[in-house]
Structures are given as structure tokens and as C-alpha cells.
Structure 1
């Protein structure tokens, strides 16, 4: 009898603890500061100054990139965000009453952005990074709301998601939030400078850098390897801490800021997903904000990953790769991998080249790529696809050579990796 009472008591305590945790986790009282009367589609015009500030907040959050389908109207949704669980299609966030957020109030908007809850109470998936946006302050969200109200309404119905069971059950997000959503706003560190705190606020909040650069567990939650690199679907977001081997350790703060502002520096050229982030978001940040982000990232020690021993030049794979580099790559990337500043990525002592995963390099060689186009760097040089010309072993060899030359050291790339990427991209193998 005593044991059963003890067990019952433990169960009650555990259930009470879970209940309290769920309540605290789902508490949206911080959003009550927002107006709950005027809707987005109401005719009263928002304050022009607030709209201007809100447009800047939208750029910080890269809102247009995810809420605009390729070739579609701005913010009308329909962009497919690929996840390991299926595609999540972004919603229409224009002030259209039928398909957008026209009948939402500011408080509805706050709760969606910071707490992942729609007006109808349904829980959003974390493809909408509310777990980062919860750090955004009231002033920024007030301005962002004003900007959203100023947009042209678009009558476009949302595209259904393609999530399979059980991931299509939104109620399951209660458990995910309990495990991975920290329901807390940004708290400045008084021991750090205003610039450092501003950088951290942008990185962890609107910039949601961890969404790509922090590795995820099996349920899609962030691991403790903060900004230390992560596998993406078919790609790799590199470490962006001050780690000298895999991160930004050999970049200066001005070089980091220049990369964010222009899409290139004398070490790297942004392309792919990061190129899109530069084009839609970071190029529009003020110099003070890009400097703040650079200073914060450079303050992070990051992982303790050490450089492996580079493959010897007389290794058969390296010799084959050197020949392929000379005949296929040298014209643009130059004799010693120095590239062309502002146009072509330099391979020399490049932490991105020696990342744990070669997925970005393999994908670029197979399908080609285009550099970010920005107001200060309009060239947007492109690289052609070599899928038609080089077979899987060729690509593996040349990338192994690049990853182990000019101050780099990284694991060998294998033909099987290239073959899988070629298959995923539905590209035909070179015939030779």
C-alpha cells in the first residue's frame, strides 16, 4: 500500500511538472502588448516611418525569401521549404482577408511570429523559425507589423504541405515545443558591449542563423553544437564560429562584414543558400549591424575540431586530381587556387573548402552555381555544370585535390558520394 501511494505521488508530481512546463512553454502573455482591434486589412494607413523601419526588420529576418515562391508575387507564399519529413509550403502573409493575414490583428501577428501560433490556434511548424524570432523585441515587431500592413494584398490560396504521418499532426508540436522551444526573449549580457549584444540579438533573433548553421537531431531540434555547421538537404552550412580550421578563425571582422554586405571577400564568394541570404537579407543591413554580427561571431570559440594531415601530393588520387584541376578549373580558380577577388572563390586556406562534408562542392561541380548579386557587387559570376564532362571518380579526385592543397587538409571525397548526389539531382553520368 505504501509503495502504491508513493508511486501515485510520483506520478502526480511528474504530471504537475509537465503541466507547468507546458503552460510556461505556451505562455503568450508577452504578446499582449500588441493591439488586438485593428486588422491588417483595415483601411487606416500605417505610420510611414514605422513602415520604413519594418522593411528593415523584414530584411533582417529574410522574410521575403521564404514567403515568395519562385516567380511569384512578394510575400504571397507557396515557397516549398524542404525538410527531412517532407515539404512545408510557406503561407501568404499579405493583408488579403481570404488567403492572407488580412483579418489578423497585431496580437495575432505577434503570436504567430514569436510563439508559432496561428490566429485559429493551430501550431506552426518550426520551418517558420519562431524559436529564433521569440528573441525579437516589441519595437521591431511593431514596425514589422506596420510594414506587413503596407503590402499589396494578394489573393493566393496556400499550397498544401506534403508531410507524411505523423509529422502532419500539428498537435504533436506541443511536444516539440516542450523539448526544443525556449519561450524567452532576448536578454542583453551586461558584461558585453552594446555592439556585441546587437550582433547576438541579430544572429539569434531575426537572422535565425542557427536554423541552418546548427546541427539538428532526429526530430529537427537544435543540438548543443551552436553554429558549428550542419548538414542540409543536399548541402552543408559551415561552421561560423572563430574556429581556425572549420570556422571564421582566419577571417578578420571586416572580412566577415564585407562578405555579409557584398557577398564576397578575398576568401570566399557566397552562392547557393547563403547567396540567397546575402541577396535578400544581409546586403541590406547597415554597416554597424554587419560589423556587430561579425564581432559576435568572432567571439565564439566554436568546436575543437583540428585539421587532419593533408594527403600527400604523390597520392594517386591527388595526382589524378591535380591533372583534372589543371585542365578544368585553373582558368578561373588560378594556378595556386587564389581565385578572382569578388568573382571566383579562392581555395587557398579556405575553411569552407575543408568542411567535414564535401556536399556543397560536389553539388556545385555537378549542377554549377551562381554567386550572389548585390548592389555593391553586381557581377554575380557563374560556374557551369561539369556533370556532362566529368564522371564520379573524376569529380571525387579533383575535389580531394582541392581539399588537400594550398593550406587545406580534409577527408578524401569518394566516387560513391558523387554518384549519390548525381542521382539525387537526376543528372546523367558522364560517358567515359
Structure 2
């Protein structure tokens, strides 16, 4: 028996090595089509303005600017299940940035996921989305980045675990999950819808957070907007298909445009990572692009997230939560969870409160709730954090109470759930 197990284990190891070798050969012998050489575009004011706009659509600063650091100079860590990846310097510094890059080099990175030296880039850089960009948009974005002040700031080495830190593993991943292709308009859809799809699927890279991923970090086909756990931040990006989570099909187009522009609407308030997306990206969209994105997002098909196995409720948890709510929450959110319009969100009937995955409710209790301070809503109301006030058991009790009060219906949250929901990186 032991001999058979040893043989099976050896066979599995040999298969893995063959797959890795095959992936390496694929990467070396099946190079993506080279970008055709072309003269650099004249950096006119119109081209630079377009490139700056595109950099905001993609929220490039969100990853490529360290807190308190120079814009676009990189250096910040992006934590993944496979280790830390560090964002590179996008300024035109010759030694540490893009100063020696050409438009074609930049296009190869966006469209093919390859660096200037031919090295395969980690898919933590969402080239699977950026591959959809047109060459003209890539060139405009590059022209804008080249116009920035050069900043000397080397990128720290990635801290990925083996074998994810090897080019063979990158090549195998690409062979399995990546085919570069510029976005093609969908026949039968309006120009507005296709523009919204281009922005959402491409530079906006919505699926980078909202996609459901497999064990190798690839977004599952057909589940680009089905919801995904952001493990490093301990937040959940809800499904844009599920009416019980974040589908916006039933919203009015005006309410959705307002939410994307300001972070607040009669329907919801943006908190957590989505508030950062609105602050750094969608608030800057033109009215036409806001309408296009709204049209696309509202057209997504609706289906429910599969229900999880119900958990046994903890005795007395909701009663403790009732007391905690009266002490800490009722003053703002109301005795009956009704909230205050344009100030404090209602908890009664809230999708965020009742979602099957309680991660976001717990993170708001722990970290507080802060809507983005946008041009359209410059002084939003905020909620203080309670992580230093409430124990894990008390956080679970409070969450369980609000998920089952005033007509809400959701599974209780256990203290173990709170304990397990610890971010991998303080952010």
C-alpha cells in the first residue's frame, strides 16, 4: 500500500514538473505577436489629457502610488495568496521607471503581459483586463505617463513563494488562462453598451475584485462578476449578478450614475475598497462614460450566489447584540435600523447587512465606515471603528443582531467567524 502511494506521489510530482516544463516551452516558443513598430505619437495637449483621463479610469495611482509617496512611482505591496507583489515605477525615470521604454514596450506589457526584456509579468498586474485596450488608448496612456516628473524609486523584489516566482509557472498560468485580444464590439448591442463593457471589462478591471477565482488565482470563465473574497483585505467584493448582493439591475440609471460619481445615492453608500475605486476612478468619468458603464452593469444577467450550509446559532448571541446596538449604534442608525437619509445608512432591509458572506459588515464594525470624499459629496458622514472597543464575541453578537432585526433574515455570525476574518496585511 505504501509503495503504491509512493509511486502515485512520484507520478504526480513528475506530472507537475512536466507541466511546468511545458509551460516554460510554451512561453519561450509561442511568443505573443510582437507589437508593430510605429513612430511615437506627438504628445499634444489633447493626447496628454486623454491619457490622464484613461489613467483615472484605470485608477492606476491606486496601486502605483505608495501612501505619502510620489504619484505613479510605485513601490507599494499588493498582497496575494501566493506572496507579495510590488507595483513598479511608472514615471519616466531612465533607471527605475519607464524612461527607456517605447510605446511598443508599453503595449506589450498591457496587451501581452510581457516586460520590456520579454519577462512574463505576474497576473497580479491585471493584463488579462488591460489586453482589451485599443492600441490608441494604450499609446495615449503611455504619453501621459511619459509627461510626468521622473522619480528615482526602484521596485522592491517580489516576494512570491515557489513555484509561483518562476517564469515557468507564469508561462503555464498564461497557457491555461490567458489569450490576448483587444475588445471587440458585441453585435446587436448599442454603442453605449459596448463602451460600458469596454470600460468595465478592460481598463476599469472590475473583475479583478468582483470575479470568482480558482485555486491558481484565475477568474473563472463566466464568473467575472460573480463575487470574490479579497483575502488580503478581509473584504468581500459582492456579486454583481445577485439581487441579494450587488446587482444594480433594479436601480434607476440616475441613482447608479450618482453612486458611481459621488459614492452615495438613495440606494447605497460606498464603503471599503469600493469607496477607494470611486474616489480614485469613477468620480472622474465623463457623463457619457458614466451612462455607458451604468447601462452595461445594469444589463448583467441576474442569478443568486449558491447558498452555504447554515451554521448553528450561538445561544444568547442576538440578545447581547441587542444591548450593544442600543449602546453604540441606535443614536445614528435609529432604534429600528431606519437610519437618516443622506447621512447614516439604514440597516433594516440592507443588502450589505444580510449578505451570505458577513465579511463587509464585520469590517465596517471593526474599521468604521467611510464614504469617499468626492467632488459631488465632499463631506460625507463617517462611522468610527469599534475593533478596539468590542471583543470578537461582541462583534459577532452585534452583527448577528442587526442581521436578524427589523425584518432582516441572515445566518448568525459566530466569534470564530470574526477570528478567522483577519486581513493578511494592515491596509
TM-score by length of 1: 0.85
| Matched residue, 2:355 | 355
| Cα deviation 1:123-146 (Å, max 9, x = unaligned) | 111111110011111221121111
How far the C-alpha of 1:362 sits from its partner, in A, is: 1.3
Change (3 A) 1:174 1:257: same
Deviations 1:59-81 (A, max 9, x none): 11111111001110000001111
**From 28, 42, 51, the counterpart of 2:33:** 28
8 A contact 1:26–1:183 mirrored in 2: no
How far apart are 1:45 and its partner, in Å?
7.0
What is the 5 A alignment of 1:403-422? 403-406=403-406, 408-421=408-421
Distance (whole Å) between structure 2 residues aligned to residue 106 and residue 340 of structure 1 = 51
For structure 1, which runs of at least 5 residues remain unmatched after alignment?
1-13, 39-43, 427-432
Q: Distance in 2 between matches of 1:288 and 1:365?
A: 36
In the other structure, the counterpart of 1:245 is 244
For residues 119-198 of structure 1, what are the structure 2 equivalents within 5 Å?
A: 119-198=116-195
Q: CA RMSD in A?
A: 2.9
- For the residue of structure 2 that corresponds to 1:88, the secondary structure is strand
SS in 1 for 2:159: coil
Mean alpha-carbon deviation: is it higher for 369-378 or for 341-350?
341-350
Q: What is the aligned residue count?
A: 400
**How far apart, in 2, do the equivalents of 1:116 and 1:219 lie?**
17
1:64 is aligned to 2:61: yes
Aligned partner of 1:345 in structure 2 is 345
1:226 aligns with 2:224: yes
Query: What residue is the counterpart of 1:384 in the other structure?
Result: 384
Give the whole-Å Cα distance in 2 for the aligned partners of 1:181 and 1:202. Answer: 19
- SS of 2:228's equivalent in the other structure is strand
| SS in structure 2 of the partner of residue 254 of structure 1 | helix
User: How far apart are the structure 2 equivalents of 1:337 and 1:194?
Assistant: 42
SS at match of 1:112: helix
For 2:346 and 2:30, locate their aligned partners in 1 and report how far apart those are by CA, in whole Å.
46
Q: Give the unaligned 5+ runs of structure 2.
A: 1-18
Residues 278-319 of structure 1: per-residue CA shift (max 9 Å, x gap): 1110100012212211221111124334889x99xxx84333
Runs of 4+ in 1 over 6 A off after TM superposition: 17-25, 423-426
* Conserved? CA contact 2:243–2:304, under 8 Å: no
> Cα distance, 1:423 vs. partner?
8.7
Q: 1:20 to 1:253 in 2, by over 3 A?
A: farther
Q: Distance in 2 between matches of 1:228 and 1:408?
A: 23
Output the CA distance in 1 between the equivalents of 2:379 and 2:286.
22
Q: CA shift at 1:324, angstroms?
A: 1.9
Relative distance call for 1:370 and 1:18 in structure 2 (3 A) is: closer
For residues 345 and 238 of structure 2, what CA distance do their matches in structure 1 show? 15
Q: Is the 8 A contact 1:266 1:346 kept in 2?
A: no
2:70 maps to 1:95 = no
- Residues 391-430 of structure 1: CA deviation (Å, up to 9, x unaligned): 222211211222234454322211111123369689xxxx
